[in-house]
Structure 1
Amino acid sequence: MRINFDLGELAAFVAVAERMNFRAAAEALFISPSALSRRIDRIEEALGVRLFDRTTRRVSLTEDGEQFLTHASDALASLQNAISDVGDRVERRAGVVTVACIPSVANHLLPAVLARFAKLHPATRIKMMDHSAPTVLQAVVEKQADFGVNFLGAQEPSIDFAAIVKERYVLVVPARHPLAKLRSVGWDDLVDERFISLAADSGNRMLLDNAVAQARARPTSHVEVNHVEGALALVRAGLGVSAIPRLALTGGAARELVGVPLSRPQVSRTLGLITRKGHRLSPQADTLAKLLTQELKTAGVAPEAGRKG
């Protein structure tokens, strides 16, 4: 038998069965007694049986009505639970924002942005995923993060990439290093330097390798590290020089270090906001994305770190 009645008619039946009074049931449903009677008539017609015995003084369930009430009550309760569960999930999602960022953004920009965000949405919880560029992209594609900030993703068909700022790579050297006095330094000037490179599977390494493939000469890697922070620590210890995004050389990371713009060729990356195509951010996630975008634009117009000489 097909279901030829709607949810309102089912609710009307249960309301009358629970109260055995049409007027009380109508008041509970905020409808008129006549509208309630029409709903009961339609559900009885759809089922092909009488559900109530009605007189001017008394209302009672028929045998078919008693049997149907058990299932109807369970169905309404299950539906209400399902609606509540969905509502809870929506509320939980709205109360948590997950952002995936490359480490240079997560370490140097995101803390200040999160402090401002907390004043606007103090009840919203934040999950921060600071990973390599390929992992950040994967997190957004696989719905682990609401959005991300990355320099990969523009060619990914399932991703919208909104460019924010173009960031240049610099050669990071100790402040007393002879190269620290230059306006810029070419890759062929680094042949005799002990070069600290990033891991071969990192997004930065892939971008650098592609950009300098046509350079007349390039340095040989003496030490390989997984993260930019590791490269900075080794440079600070006097173990060599390294090529890093300029943003990574801000705040405390700049202590005793200088970033000299790289040239011949100049290397840069475009940082952008990445989201899944067709995905609409929650109001809280949208606010955080806008704050982070503005912070990146501000950082992106800062002067280069190299000294004049």
Structure 2
Amino acid sequence: MSINYDFADLEAFLAVKDLGSFHKAAERLNLSQSAVTRRIRKLEEALGSQLFERTTRAVKPTLAAKRLQARAEAILEDARETARAMRDESVAFAHQRGAVVTVATIPTVISHLLTPALKRFHAAGHSTRIRLIDAAANEVTEAVAEGEADFGLCSIPMLEPATAFETLMEERIMLALPPDHPAAQAARVDLNQLRDTPLILPARGTGNRLLIDEAAARARLDLRWSYEAGRSTTALSMVRDGIGAALLPEAVTHAAGLPAVPLVAPDIARPVGLLSRLGQTETPAVTALKAQIRAVAAGN
């Protein structure tokens, strides 16, 4: 079925319905009264229903008009929302053109890598707006591969063949312990000697859990976990409350102020780096932000 009316016709309908007058509707829309009349007639013909009963004294909406009102309002609001979203995506104003950069990132690198880079980026005079997608490593990879993000910060190299991974740093996985734990001041810790301490691991499917499981398999270590936590913040809260000990990235434990001890074996380190889509043309803002991230990672 073809649609023989448009948004302007719906706007004219709502104006007449709201004001009860073709003349007042024409004034609101900055149109002639005859133009409003033509739009209403066009809409009535397209819908096959009379929308208004016209008398010399009043314009009364019909039942069909009352039924149409909510749908017309919803259609126009959806259209406005789409227009707003598209303007935001394309950054309509000249001074903002190309000034939205979308970064997909694992949450555990935001505070010590991305946030300092953003501060330096804006201090250098960039007015770019930044959209963050904070997600698990596999979701970061998907966002970059599918073009949803301009680039990513990730800890799993190249899950998608359409991406390229640039290692920026390696970060050790530590055992975070409650402050009053007997091993909290140890130089290193052997998990086999902590069987009485419940172990908290990252949830399956996360980048950190993949690294831990692979390292444990190589070392033939049986990790007997008691808890799985999807987010590092959850694991940290559990450690702080004395529930158990958690395997977490060093920067995360350092920021939390919890005792963190290296493992005797296996020694687990995760690569942290920039994930880009192959063949993508970078905007100047993307290039500049990546440069600041590299500088922070290098300690410059």
> Normalized against structure 1, the TM-score is what?
0.63
Distance 2:233 2:91 in 1: 42
- Of residues 177, 181, 184, the one that matches 1:177 is 181
- Unmatched runs of 5 consecutive residues or more in structure 2: 1-89
**1:208 corresponding residue in structure 2:** 212
Distance 2:102 2:113 in 1: 16
**2:28 corresponding residue in structure 1:** none
Asked if the contact 1:108–1:250 (Cα under 8 Å) also holds between the matched residues in 2, the reply is no
Distance 2:273 2:223 in 1: 30
Alignment of 1:188 with 2:192, yes or no, is yes
Distance 1:120 1:170 in 2: 35
Secondary structure at the residue paired with 1:169? strand
Alpha-carbon shift at residue 250 of structure 1 (Å): 3.0
Give 1 or 2 for the bigger CA radius of gyration.
1
Alignment of 1:168 with 2:169, yes or no, is no
Asked if the contact 1:102–1:132 (Cα under 8 Å) also holds between the matched residues in 2, the reply is yes
Aligned partner of 2:274: which letter? L
Alignment of 1:109 with 2:113, yes or no, is yes
**2:270 corresponding residue in structure 1:** 269
Secondary structure at the residue paired with 1:149? strand
Secondary structure at the residue paired with 2:184? helix
Cα deviation, 1:99-122, whole Å, max 9, x if unaligned, reads: 111111123332222122122244
Higher mean C-alpha deviation, range 146-155 or range 284-293:
146-155
**2:295 corresponding residue in structure 1:** 294
Asked if the contact 2:144–2:275 (Cα under 8 Å) also holds between the matched residues in 1, the reply is yes
Secondary structure at the residue paired with 1:182? coil
Taking structure 1 as reference, are residues 262 and 120 closer, same or farther at Cα in structure 2, changes over 3 Å only?
Answer: same
Cα deviation, 1:143-187, whole Å, max 9, x if unaligned, reads: 111111112233532111111111110000122211112111233
Alpha-carbon shift at residue 266 of structure 1 (Å): 0.6
Secondary structure at the residue paired with 1:249? helix
Instruction: List aligned pairs for 1:66-145, cutoff 5 A.
Output: 94-145=98-149
Secondary structure at the residue paired with 1:179? coil
Distance 1:190 1:260 in 2: 13
**2:17 corresponding residue in structure 1:** none
- Of residues 206, 230, 241, the one that matches 2:234 is 230
Distance 2:110 2:281 in 1: 23
Overall identity of the aligned pairs, in %: 35
Distance 2:222 2:181 in 1: 19
Asked if the contact 2:138–2:206 (Cα under 8 Å) also holds between the matched residues in 1, the reply is yes
- Unmatched runs of 5 consecutive residues or more in structure 1: 1-85, 300-309
Asked if the contact 1:160–1:276 (Cα under 8 Å) also holds between the matched residues in 2, the reply is yes
How many corresponding residue pairs? 212
Secondary structure at the residue paired with 1:269? strand
Cα deviation, 1:177-234, whole Å, max 9, x if unaligned, reads: 1111211123323333211121112111111111101445434221221111110010
- Of residues 212, 224, 227, the one that matches 1:220 is 224
> Normalized against structure 2, the TM-score is what?
0.65
Distance 2:169 2:148 in 1: 25
Cα deviation, 1:3-59, whole Å, max 9, x if unaligned, reads: xxxxxxxxxxxxxxxxxxxxxxxxxxxxxxxxxxxxxxxxxxxxxxxxxxxxxxxxx
Asked if the contact 2:167–2:272 (Cα under 8 Å) also holds between the matched residues in 1, the reply is yes
Asked if the contact 1:190–1:219 (Cα under 8 Å) also holds between the matched residues in 2, the reply is no
Aligned partner of 1:278: which letter? G
